[in-house]
C-alpha cells in the first residue's frame, strides 16, 4: 500500500471528475498549492503529492490523524499487470548458466591435456611411478638452462641431484616415507637415518639443455647391514643409456651419530622392495690411496659449507662433496676433458662449522700438457683442517668431443 502510494506520486493519476477541486491534500492549515485554488482542466495534468499514504482503517472504519486530512478519492490503484511485467529477470539466469559452462570447460581441458610434441616431458608434473612388478621407480627430468655448465651440457652435480631425488621419491611413492629424510616409520621411531658409504658413477654421455632424461632406480640387499641402490639414466626420446650408478647405504643413529645395524622391524619394511639383480656398475675393487701434502699435486684450502649446503639431517649433502673435490682439479683438465667415471668412499660426515681442504693427485704427473693428454686418472681426498678424512675418491677423465673439432661451435650438427 505504502509502496503503491509512493509510486503514484511520480506518475499521472486519473481524477474521478474533472470538476473536482477539493482533491488537494492539506497539511495543517496549508495546502500543496497555497494562496490559489487548483486550476480545473480536462487534460488531467500530473498531480504531485508529498508523503502520500493511505488512511489507516480499523474494522473497516477510517481513522483520522490530527492535522492530516485523507481523501479516499485520491487513492489510486496499482498499474495494470501486463505480460511484460510478469517476465522474470532472464539476465541473472543467463549469467549463471555462462559461469557453469566456463567452469566445466576449464575442468575438461585440464583432464584432456596431452603433449603437443613427442619430445615434450612425458611425466609433466615430475611425480614418477613404480614399474616392473613394483620394484623399479621411474621419473623423468627435463634439463634446465641453469643446470648446464660452460660446455653446454648438464653438470655432474645435476646428474647426482637427479639420482638423489628419485631415491627419495621412490621411498615416498612406496608409502615408506616417515618424518625423516628418506627414513621409514620404524626408522623414525628408532632415530635412524640412511647415510651413503660408497658411490660409483659411470657417465657415457652428458645430456644437454632441453633434453628429457628417464631415471630408473631400485634397491637390493648389500651384506647384513647395508642396502644397495642402483640407477639407470637414459635419453627419454632415444632410449640411449647416459649414466649408470651404484651406491651402498648404511644406517646411522641420528642422536649418537654412530653406525647402527638394521633392526628387524626396519628390515621387514624394506625387504619386500628388494630386487634380485647384480650391481649395474661393476664394483671397482682397487683401493683408494690416502693423499697428503707431499703426494698431492693440487691443494685447495678454506672450503666451508654454507647454510644451503645442509640437508634435513643437519649434515652436508653428499652431492656437495663432489663440487668440493673438483675444486682442486687442475683447470686444463676441466677445460679439455669431461668426467667419465667416479668412485667415492664416504668416511665421515661434515657439519656447518667445518673447514675443509681438497687434495688432488694426477696419475702420471710427468705429463706437462694436460689439455692434450688422452684419458686421465686422478686421486682425490677431502679432509678437515685437522686431517680427519671426509671422502676419498678416484675420477677418470676423457677428452671432450669438441676438442676433435677445435671449437665447440664447430661441432657438426649430426654429431650433437
Looking up residue 378, the CATH number of its domain turns out to be 3.10.129.10
56 in any annotated domain: no
CA torsion, ordered 323, 328, 333, 334, to nearest 10 deg: 30
Residues 274 and 389 in one domain: no
Verify whether residue 220 is a known catalytic residue. Answer: no
175 and 242 share one domain: yes
Say yes or no: 268 and 348 in one domain. no
pLDDT of residue 27: 40
Q: Which residue has the cell 635412524?
A: 192
Of 280, 297, 330, the position where a domain reaches its end is 280
Does residue 68 lie in a domain region? no
The DSSP secondary-structure symbol of 192 reads E
Rounded CA-CA distance 119/296 in Å is: 46
Residue 369, in any domain of the structure: yes
Output Rg (C-alpha) for the chain, integer angstroms. 43
Examine the domain organization and report whether 159 and 301 are in the same domain.
Answer: no
Closest C-alpha among 323, 327, 390, 319 to residue 160: 319
Residue of 141, 142, 199, 172 whose CA lies nearest to 317: 199
Question: How many separate domains does the chain show?
Answer: 2
Alpha-carbon gap, residue 74 to 342, rounded angstroms: 105
Q: Same domain, yes or no, for 301 and 258? A: no
Considering the domain boundaries, does residue 382 fall inside one? yes
Long-range (24+ apart) CB contacts under 8 A made by 148-152 are 148/208, 148/209, 151/338, 151/400, 151/402, 151/408, 152/208, 152/209, 152/408
| 141 and 290 together in one domain | no
Q: Specify if 242 maps to a domain.
A: yes
Is residue 20 a part of any domain in this protein? Answer: no
- My answer on whether 354 and 265 are in the same domain is no
Domain limit, last residue, from 280, 310, 332: 280
Final residue of a domain: which of 252, 280, 308? Answer: 280
Among 157, 158, 178, 172, smallest CA distance to 127 is for: 172
Residues 6+ apart with CB under 8 A from 234: 213, 214, 216, 240, 241, 242
Decide if 188 is catalytic. Answer: no
Residues 140 and 273 in one domain: yes
Domain limits at 129? Answer: 119-280
Catalytic annotation present for 313: yes
Q: And the C-alpha cell for 404?
A: 676433435
Max Cα separation, the chain?
Answer: 132
Within-domain flag for 337: yes
Looking at the structure, tell me whether residues 304 and 321 fall in a common domain.
Answer: yes
Same domain, 141 and 268: yes
Among residues 170, 315, 337, 380, the one annotated as catalytic is 315
267, 314: one domain: no
* Distance between CA atoms of residues 124 and 230, nearest Å: 24
Helices 156-173 and 318-327: crossing angle, nearest 10°?
170
Question: What confidence score (pLDDT) does residue 116 get?
Answer: 42
Q: Measured in Å, how far apart are the chain's first and last C-alpha atoms?
A: 88
CA distances from 282 to 199, 202, 250, 301 (A): 12, 10, 20, 33
Q: What pairs with residue 399 in β-bridges?
A: 337
| Candidate list 220, 350, 378, 380, residue with the active-site label | 350
Predicted local confidence at residue 371, as pLDDT: 72
pTM of the model: 0.67
Co-location of 274 and 288 in the same domain: no
Domain presence at residue 271: yes
Q: Which residues contact 380 (CB under 8 A, 6 or more apart)?
A: 291, 325, 328, 358, 359, 360, 361, 391, 392, 393, 394, 395
Q: How far apart are CA 317 and CA 307, in angstroms?
A: 11
pLDDT along the chain (416 residues), means of 10: 42 42 41 43 42 50 49 56 63 82 72 44 63 92 93 94 94 82 87 93 96 96 93 96 97 90 93 94 92 94 91 82 94 93 94 92 73 88 94 95 43 38
User: Which residue's C-alpha cell is 529477470?
Assistant: 89
Amino acid at each position: 500500500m505504502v509502496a503503491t502510494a509512493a509510486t503514484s506520486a511520480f506518475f499521472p493519476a486519473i481524477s474521478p471528475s474533472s470538476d473536482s477541486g477539493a482533491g488537494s491534500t492539506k497539511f495543517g492549515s496549508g495546502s500543496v498549492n497555497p494562496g490559489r485554488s487548483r486550476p480545473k482542466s480536462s487534460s488531467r495534468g500530473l498531480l504531485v503529492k508529498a508523503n502520500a499514504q493511505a488512511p489507516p482503517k480499523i474494522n473497516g472504519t477510517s481513522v483520522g490523524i490530527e492535522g492530516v486530512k485523507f481523501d479516499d478519492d485520491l487513492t489510486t490503484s496499482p498499474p495494470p499487470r501486463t505480460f511484460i511485467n510478469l517476465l522474470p529477470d532472464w539476465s541473472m539466469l543467463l549469467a549463471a548458466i555462462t559461469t557453469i559452462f566456463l567452469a566445466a570447460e576449464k575442468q575438461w581441458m585440464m583432464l584432456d591435456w596431452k603433449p603437443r610434441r613427442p619430445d615434450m616431458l612425458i611425466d609433466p608434473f615430475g611425480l614418477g611411478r613404480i614399474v616392473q612388478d613394483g620394484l623399479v621407480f621411474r621419473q623423468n627430468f627435463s634439463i634446465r638452462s641453469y643446470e648446464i655448465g660452460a660446455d653446454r651440457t648438464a653438470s655432474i652435480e645435476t646428474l647426482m641431484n637427479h639420482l638423489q631425488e628419485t631415491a627419495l621419491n621412490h621411498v615416498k611413492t612406496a608409502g615408506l616415507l616417515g618424518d625423516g629424510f628418506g627414513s621409514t616409520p620404524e626408522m623414525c621411531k628408532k632415530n635412524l637415518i640412511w647415510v651413503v658409504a660408497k658411490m660409483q658413477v659411470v657417465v657415457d654421455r652428458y645430456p644437454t639443455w632441453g633434453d628429457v632424461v628417464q631415471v630408473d632406480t631400485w634397491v637390493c640387499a648389500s651384506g647384513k647391514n647395508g642396502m644397495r641402490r642402483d640407477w639407470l639414466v637414459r635419453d627419454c626420446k632415444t632410449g640411449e643409456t647416459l649414466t649408470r650408478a651404484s651406491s651402498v647405504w648404511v644406517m646411522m643413529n641420528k642422536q649418537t651419530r654412530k653406525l647402527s645395524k638394521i633392526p628387524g622391524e626396519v628390515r621387514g619394511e624394506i625387504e619386500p622392495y628388494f630386487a634380485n639383480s647384480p650391481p649395474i656398475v661393476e664394483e671397482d675393487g682397487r683401493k683408494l690411496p690416502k693423499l697428503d701434502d707431499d703426494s698431492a699435486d693440487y691443494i685447495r684450502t678454506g672450503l666451508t659449507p654454507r647454510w644451503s649446503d645442509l640437508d634435513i639431517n643437519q649434515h652436508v649433502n653428499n652431492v656437495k662433496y663432489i663440487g668440493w673435490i673438483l675444486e682442486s682439479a687442475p683447470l686444463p683438465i676441466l677445460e679439455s676433458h669431461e668426467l667419465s667415471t667416479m668412485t667415492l668412499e664416504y668416511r665421515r660426515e661434515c657439519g656447518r662449522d667445518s673447514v675443509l681442504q681438497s687434495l688432488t693427485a694426477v696419475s702420471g704427473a710427468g705429463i706437462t700438457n694436460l689439455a692434450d693428454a688422452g684419458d686421465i686418472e686422478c686421486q682425490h681426498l677431502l679432509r678437515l683442517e685437522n686431517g680427519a678424512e671426509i671422502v676419498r675418491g678416484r675420477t677418470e677423465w676423457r677428452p671432450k668431443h669438441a676438442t676433435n673439432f677445435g671449437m665447440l661451435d664447430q661441432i657438426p650438427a649430426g654429431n650433437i
